[in-house]
Amino acid sequence: MIQVPPTVGTALDYLGVERALVLDLMPRVDPDRVRLRVAPVWFTWLWARGIAAVTTPWAVYVHPNTAKRFGGADRDLGLGILMVHELMHVEQLARLGVLAHSIQYLTDYIRGRAKRLGHWEAYRQIRLEVEARAAASLVRSRIERAQPQ
């Protein structure tokens, strides 16, 4: 059975992502209260190919292939950055509420598809995804600046 840390906060610690680099971006989120789960296979069948994790109001679900990366001997910065991205979705849910978040997410996606964008282009233009990628990118740059050369 694939194991992951019990919370996103524990995962950040395990992956060496300092919380101070993250928490100012997400004032409504306590990473220790965000559960981390391996997605059941049936749940991943609902995901587009290539999705590594999905955030719900009650937990972050990681794809089983992504979850296997927690068992590596080396710290996986990419996995830590994924956790930051998913935490930003938790922040968005707290800020907007589930209904407003869902409406904005779906409306942005449908607008993209109405502009004849493909699935991935429409997905990348969803404002909530843009914000999550920006937060993850900022934390990545903070980590890289803090590392000794």
Chain segment 54-77, per-residue pLDDT in tens = 999 999 999 999 999 887 766 788
- Predicted confidence at residue 141, as pLDDT, reads 92
- 102 belongs to a structural domain: yes
Phi-psi region of 85 (alpha: psi -120 to 50; beta: other; left: phi over 0): alpha
Query: Within a domain: residue 140?
Result: yes
Facing residues of 37 across strands?
61
In a domain, 94, yes or no: yes
CB 9 within 8 A of CB 74: no
> How many structural domains is the chain composed of?
1
Q: Going by C-beta distance under 8 Å and a sequence separation of 6 or more, which residues neighbour residue 13?
A: 5, 19
pTM here is 0.93
Task: Name the residue range of residue 25's domain.
Answer: 8-146
Write down the residue that tokens 């989120």 correspond to: 29
